[in-house]
Amino acid sequence: MKLNGAQVVLRTLKDLDVDTLFGYPGGAVIPLYDALYEVRDDFTHIRTSHEQGASHAADGYARVTGKVGVCIATSGPGATNTVTGIANAYMDSIPMLVITGQVPTNLLGRDSFQEIDITGVTNPITKHNYLVKDIQDLEDTIKKAFHIAKSGRPGPVLVDIPKDIFLTDIDYKEIDNKEFVEFVDNKLKNEDSFDDELIETIADKINKSKRPAIYAGGGVIISGNSDKLLELSEKNDIPVTNSLMGLGSISRKNKLSLGLVGMHGSREANLTVHNSDLLLAIGARFSDRVIGKPDDFAKEAQIIHIDRDESEVSKNIAVDNYAVGDMSIILEKIIKRVNEKKREEWLDEVEGFKVKKEKNLEEFSPQNILKQSSDVLGEEAIVATDVGQHQMWAAQNWDFLYPNTFVTSGGLGTMGFGLGAAIGTQVGKPDKRTVLVTGDGSFRMNCNELATVRKWDLPIIILLFNNSSLGMVRQWQKLFQEEKYSETDITDEVDYVKLADAYGIDGYRVCNMKDFKKTLDIVSKTREPVLIECELNKDACVYPIVPPGKSIDKLVIE
Ligand SMILES: Cc1ncc(C[n+]2csc(CCOP(=O)(O)OP(=O)(O)O)c2C)c(N)n1
Ligand SMILES: [Mg+2]
């Protein structure tokens, strides 16, 4: 069968069970879109307003489906517009395949129109990348890229395809890349660093520990090990704290779940880690946002690290034991060897770490808005966020019940991630309801994607926290820069309700709890996209906060 390169790309994606693409056309990918036109019934292609939106959508889609998110962009500016999205996926270990068009091979290296060396640009932010110069390599390269993206510790892989390669015909014969898959899988197995003796040592330490704590990260969710985390923690009665990426790995309604640890972690999570005598880090990377002052982090504790990626071991914090490999095997072996326990004394102490304070549930506060939304939308919600105070309030106050229900930019902290990501999560899980928690600053960055939301009738509920400020930066200026509010007040009179209206989306503006509840009640009964702008006080701060450079037990409560 004769196919051209563009047809080979689509045929290969189909072989890989890809049915959803996020992308944006342009000169170098005209042949690809031409081929897509012919097979448009085989794919859902979401054309966003901007390639950054497409890249975040592919990322969000990957996070909630566990599949590889696929994003297409043209050469030059199309490709560079995906760079933030690629970096974001890289920092959070999200499997993504980015296909970029490139100038024809005979124009490479000549500063041709819309030529950017995108493999060069993305070298430090991809797990791997390729420039395909020979049509014979095309299918094989895409299959390799796809496998690399999702194997081991996932991440984004970019394949750059010159326009003439899309247009070259070949005799197509489906390639079986079993050999490569075996090669990668064997390579991963060779990185395994655990044996029965080590497992015995770890289980023994857990059994002997008086004050154990778990610090579970995104790796638990990505590797599909939330059930094993629960089994281990419940069998040995170990309280569980989470990194931002780890939220959802254990239900926040479980009594062993203490929520977020680190800079904006709860008092109980931070003090539990700080006072533990054994800390079990699972699929987590000891980010600076978690550990505070490295020298004082879990000082009394033996630290054990279980992860897929050996390069994370003792990178930020020196550990006493580590097991690298398939986390489900490692956890299963540990679970078998730990004793069933009840740790009343330790858990009483942990309970005592909680801040006991009367709460005024009628106050129109970010906390109450989120708690209310979490209660009403709970089971069916997937929460996507932008970056800033609203993100931390969402992390602290939403009761995440299941893995893959909190989609947030952890490592890169990308303002503008939210709306694109929300599109991806709503497309990936159409029966769920995506709630986007965003801030006025972040929302402005990529609100152009409202057009995409409307076009596809995505029933996203946008909770816009309008505090007329770049709140998180303003908070740092308030706490650490003597209240010099340099360029963080953004009272520019943007009418967000009218903005939504311009895109054909209903908007509501609310400024008290009663109206908020009423509005939420109305919108939760529809399946329409909606924006709810919550007018908030710019002086509200995210607490607790561990001041920069301080140990996590030195958190400031308010
Ligand atoms: C692309 C990008 N630019 C700048 C920043 C720095 N930054 C972090 S939080 C923040 C303020 C966010 O404002 P908003 O979205 O309104 O959220 P709020 O903190 O007010 O809830 C800024 C500017 C960033 N994280 N990302
Ligand atoms: Mg704001």
Is residue 265 in contact with ligand 1, taking CB distance under 6 Å? no
CA separation for the pair 461, 528 (Å, rounded): 8
Residue 116 has what pLDDT?
98
- Model's pTM, two decimal places? 0.98
CA separation for the pair 10, 172 (Å, rounded): 12
Residue 391 has what pLDDT?
98
Per DSSP, 314 falls in state T
CA separation for the pair 293, 550 (Å, rounded): 5
With cut-offs at 50, 70 and 90, classify the pLDDT of residue 239. very high
443 Cα: distance to centroid of ligand 2 (angstroms): 9
Q: What's the chain's length in residues?
A: 558
Classify the C-alpha dihedral 39-44-49-53 as positive or negative: negative
39 Cα: distance to centroid of ligand 1 (angstroms): 41
* Average pLDDT score, the chain: 97
413 Cα: distance to centroid of ligand 1 (angstroms): 8
Residue 510 has what pLDDT?
98
Which active-site residues does the annotation give? Answer: 51, 113-114, 163, 472
Q: Which element (helix H / strand E) includes 303?
A: strand 302-307
CA separation for the pair 390, 370 (Å, rounded): 9
Residue ranges of alpha helices (H) inside 66-133 are: 77-81, 83-91, 118-122
Counting atoms of ligand 1 from 1, which one is nearest the CA of 84? 1
Residue 523 has pLDDT above 90, yes or no: yes
465 Cα: distance to centroid of ligand 2 (angstroms): 6
CA separation for the pair 403, 221 (Å, rounded): 6
Residue type at 59?
Answer: D
Residue 491 has what pLDDT?
87
Residue 504 has pLDDT above 90, yes or no: yes
Q: Whose CA is nearest to atom 5 of ligand 1?
A: 415
CA separation for the pair 419, 22 (Å, rounded): 14
Best of 367, 387, 446, 490 to mutate for ligand 1, by most ligand atoms within 8 A of CB?
A: 387
Residue 550 has what pLDDT?
97
Q: Whose CA is nearest to atom 11 of ligand 1?
A: 470
Burial of 314 (0-12, 13-18, 19+ CB in 10 A): middle
Best of 50, 442, 496 to mutate for ligand 1, by most ligand atoms within 8 A of CB?
A: 442
CA separation for the pair 451, 271 (Å, rounded): 45
CA separation for the pair 394, 295 (Å, rounded): 29
Residue 117 has pLDDT above 90, yes or no: yes
Residue type at 277?
Answer: D
CA separation for the pair 260, 241 (Å, rounded): 6
How do residues 524-536 score in pLDDT, each as one tens digit? 999 999 999 999 9
CA separation for the pair 92, 89 (Å, rounded): 5
Span 199-225, average pLDDT = 98
CA separation for the pair 12, 418 (Å, rounded): 30
Contacts of range 551-554, beta carbons closer than 8 Å, 24 or more positions apart? 551/274, 551/292, 551/293, 551/296, 551/297, 552/261, 552/262, 552/263, 552/265, 552/270, 552/273, 552/274, 552/290, 552/291, 552/292, 552/293, 552/296, 552/297, 553/270, 553/271, 553/274, 553/275, 553/296, 554/292
- Report the percent of the chain where pLDDT is more than 90: 97
Ligand nearest to the CA of 473: 1
Residue 359 has what pLDDT?
85
Residue indicated by tokens 């919600």: 381
Cβ neighbours of residue 395 closer than 8 Å, sequence gap 6 or more: 244, 247, 259, 260, 264, 385, 406, 408
How do residues 306-344 score in pLDDT, each as one tens digit? 999 999 999 999 999 999 999 999 999 999 999 999 999
Q: Which of 189, 246, 210, 512 is nearest to 404 (CA)?
A: 246
How do residues 270-314 score in pLDDT, each as one tens digit? 999 999 999 999 999 999 999 999 999 999 999 999 999 999 999
**Residues with a beta carbon under 5 angstroms from ion ligand 2:** 439-441, 467, 471
476 Cα: distance to centroid of ligand 2 (angstroms): 13
Residue 492 has pLDDT above 90, yes or no: no
Residue 358 has pLDDT above 90, yes or no: no
For residue 240, how many other CB atoms are within 10 A of its CB?
27
Is residue 465 in contact with ligand 1, taking CB distance under 6 Å? yes
How do residues 220-229 score in pLDDT, each as one tens digit? 999 999 999 9
Ligand nearest to the CA of 477: 1
DSSP E strand boundaries for 376-469: 381-385, 406-407, 433-439, 461-466
Best of 244, 365, 470, 489 to mutate for ligand 1, by most ligand atoms within 8 A of CB?
A: 470
Residue 493 has what pLDDT?
84
Span 42-68, average pLDDT = 98
Residue 558 has what pLDDT?
87
